[in-house]
Chains A and B, each alone.
Chain A
């Protein structure tokens, strides 16, 4: 029942995203046919042909209905620019983004929660102050600036762009090391910004629990301090923190876009940019749907995960 409601809500959100995407990007100025053919010898007749190919000659509402109906068939449309199905184009770029975002999120969550717990448990200690201070500062740092600084500071240590060198040996180990080498700066950038948020979330979440009566109970039972923390405080505090971590996934997406731009990381963020210059309507719509979809799914996951981890939720 509750699950059904959540799923329904998520589905509704996606529908709204699809509708919004359609109209929002139609308002983006520019005629895709003109920008496609600019600088090439073209005739008016050819432009008209192209327009008909893309269905841009039809009235807006017709375009909308055909978009909706193909969407219902799982077809995201065809990219003007790449002349291929949007789903395929996005699919190609999904991997790098998932790799970057996944790596960064894993590190950020691990590090963030760990630091947050330590900081909160020893509130106002030097460790806490340092952690909180650094986190607040990193939180204030614009992602792209950090990326550029890192690039400038590290000089020749790391490659300045992309995910792979073209002349790396084809065996798996070399390729993996090459990708890892390229991944260092982008993921540090993304981790720095996202992790800061997670530290603060975890810290305040644990601080909320610090005066819970059940901790007094645990101490009264004779538990060691770290056992009180590990067995009682953290399991409680980590629940809202994890939920928030999942809810803040939009932040990761935003960070990924800027990071990808700075490091020419061949993911969805870069694709988004290229699509905007078209404007490649169907690709933009598809991207919005995918990114918003990712956030929706993350929210849903957060919900489900919360249900699994927190026994109290089942009763509701």
Chain B
């Protein structure tokens, strides 16, 4: 068998009449590492699947897929089965679902070895991916996300393939774990001289692991070159958008929130105050005092103090499970604290009844995934007007909704009001969610990972929108995120949460550029560097 690596010639894939991959040509020599970047829907996963002919029957594949010189498309089933995993293997995205939940991981790793008569041992493979050998007896659900991904990698290496395709291998992982897994991949590729085709939407991940970079957009290959070069000098505008979406912490160019904006916001706010209380600039908008929240026996939030000023944007960063979401829910009055106080605008947040309902007008929530934050059965106008209807606010509903929608930069509003959520793009959906919040004229926006599920190119626009709202309406925000880059871009202050406690709090520059707490340092270090 020749060992010539992978070559795609004029690969085109149709689903019915829909062309998902259009005339893609790529070559990957043995030992070479190539990153394939693109947003969701760009066709990058289809390319990966086509290599081992794993696309469903309904897919029509044209062009040539040469794996070590043989066209995969023309192989007999027997030959294809022999090639699969032995010549090229895949590290699938979402190891939770890509591993069989009812079989021990050891068996699953061993399965292709038995099938292809490859010598070797599971123990050895596990040690290569830095897992103890007793994990072979574990079931997938008994492992952590990072461990599962390691198992996937061990499985991919089981038959000693010359080419490994990694499809979003770290997407669902935490920053720190992601860094570890990427490190592992890098080491293995280097040690075993593997060819690696790495697929990701995250340029920084690819930058971390690959020498070359290819960018796909709407099924087409738009750019190909050395990784650093492509990122530094993107030729295609889409590449530029992708690159911009991953801010470099410490780079002032990527810092969008200017100093002093917050006070200006407070000023604007006074002009449009309707409530009985005139807030004084001296008193912070929101104060959290020694807040504790318990879930049964576990303490999710453990003595947190937090302050948000008028018009201030505070980023709450931390890994998943750190308690940041619980904290946000508690602030909103969606959960009752076990102890401690939440003071909004000088008054303690009521826990129930009419007062709580009134309070909820003041604080609005923006959720991570706009697609699920909108009832798929409700039209835009209904979704946005929901708050108005709940509170029975007076005024012409349509004009209020139109105003809010346009404020959220969906112009002209009339074009969108009658749409259903699935007819909109992710960015548009998130704007609808924001409009639904704005229509109640809140004073604080709690945004839970507001851009995490959005494509890179849209991300920047939403960030800009949030900043503009602060500038124009004096809207304060609590941004919950695991993404230090986002915090760098948007926040005035950063609070770092770890195991229910806020371990460090301060201005963005201070916390991110000069972290004092060990955990913050680990977080900052784990961010992939472009």
Q: Do chains A and B touch in the complex (CB under 8 A)?
A: yes
- Give me the interface of A with B, judged by CB distance under 8 Å: 212-214, 216-224, 231-232, 235-236, 239, 309-312, 315
Task: Decide if A312 touches B112 in the complex (CB within 8 Å).
Answer: no
Instruction: Give the residues in chain A near B85, CB-CB below 8 Å.
Output: 220-222
The CA of A216 and the CA of B165, in the complex, are separated in Å by 14
Cβ–Cβ < 8 Å partners of B54 in chain A: 216, 219-220
Interface of A is mostly: helix
Alpha-carbon distance A309/B139, docked complex (angstroms): 12
Selected interface stretch from B89-97, B203-211, B372-380, B445-453: B89-97
CA distance A234 to B227 in the complex (A): 44
Q: How far is the CB of A226 from chain B (nearest CB, A)?
A: 12
Task: Check B100 against A218 for contact (C-beta < 8 Å).
Answer: yes
Docked Cα-Cα span, A239 to B100, in Å, equals 13
Shortest B52–chain A CB gap in Å is 5
Most buried by A among B49, B80, B82, B103: B103
Cα A231 to Cα B141 with chains together (Å): 18
Residue of A nearest to B83 (CB): A222
Contact B89 A235 (CB under 8 A): no
Cβ of B142 < 8 Å from any Cβ of A? Answer: yes
Q: Which of B89, B92, B111, B141 contacts A216 (CB 8 A)?
A: B92
Cβ-defined contact, B111 with A213, below 8 A: no
- Contacts A218-B100, A220-B84 given; does A312 touch B141 at CB 8 Å: yes
From the candidates A222, A236, A309, name the one contacting B100 in the complex (CB within 8 A). A236
| 3 pairs of A and B residues whose beta carbons are closest in the complex | A222-B84, A311-B139, A221-B112
How distant is the Cα of A216 from the Cα of B81 in the complex, in angstroms?
Answer: 13
User: Residues 69-113 of chain B: 1 if any A CB is under 8 Å from the residue's CB, otherwise 0?
Assistant: 000000000001111111001101010011111110000000110
Cβ–Cβ contact B99 & A217, under 8 A: yes
Chain A residues with Cβ below 8 Å from B89 are 220-221
Q: Which residues in B have their C-beta under 8 angstroms from that of A213?
A: 92, 94, 97-98
Nearest CB on A from B86, distance (A): 7
B115's contact among A214, A223, A315, by CB below 8 Å, is which? A223
Among A231, A310, A311: residue with most chain B CB under 10 A: A311
**Which residue from chain A places its CB closest to the CB of B116 in the assembled complex?**
A222
- With a cutoff of 8 Å between Cβ atoms, the chain B residues found around residue A218 in the complex are 100, 111
- The CA-CA distance from A213 to B49 in the complex, in Å, is 12
On chain A, the residues within 8 Å of B116 by CB distance are 222
Q: Are A220 and B101 in contact (CB under 8 A)?
A: no
> Are A315 and B142 in contact, CB atoms less than 8 angstroms apart?
yes
Interface size class of B (residues with CB under 8 A): 20 to 34
- On whether A315 and B100 interact (CB within 8 A), knowing A221-B112, A222-B85, the answer reads no
Q: How far is the CA of A315 from the CA of B155 in the complex (A)?
A: 24
Q: Which residues of B contact A236 (CB under 8 A)?
A: 100-102
Most chain A CB neighbours (cut-off 10 Å) among B92, B102, B112, B141 = B102
Name the one of A212, A221, A235, A315 contacting B97, with C-beta atoms under 8 angstroms.
Answer: A212
> Which of B84, B94, B111, B115 lies at the interface centre, i.e. has the most chain A CB atoms within 10 A of its CB?
B111
- Contacts A221-B112, A222-B112; A214 near B98 (Cβ below 8 A): yes
Q: Which of B49, B102, B115, B141 contacts A221 (CB 8 A)?
A: B115
In the assembly, what is the distance between CA of A218 and CA of B155, in Å? 11
Cβ A311 vs Cβ B141 within 8 A: yes
Interchain residue pairs with CB less than 8 A apart (28)? A212-B97, A213-B97, A214-B97, A214-B100, A216-B98, A217-B92, A217-B99, A218-B100, A219-B54, A219-B84, A220-B84, A220-B90, A221-B111, A221-B115, A221-B155, A222-B82, A222-B83, A222-B86, A223-B111, A231-B111, A232-B100, A232-B103, A235-B100, A235-B102, A236-B101, A239-B102, A311-B102, A312-B101
CB distance from B15 to the nearest CB of A (A): 15
In the assembled complex, the Cα of A212 lies from the Cα of B155 at a distance in Å of 18
**Residues of B contacting A311 in the complex (Cβ-Cβ under 8 angstroms):** 101-102, 139, 141-142
Query: In the complex, what residue of chain B is closest to A225 when comparing beta carbons?
Result: B77
CA distance A144 to B84 in the complex (A): 54
Q: A24 to nearest B CB, angstroms?
A: 39
Q: A95 vs B84: C-alpha distance in the bound complex, in angstroms?
A: 55
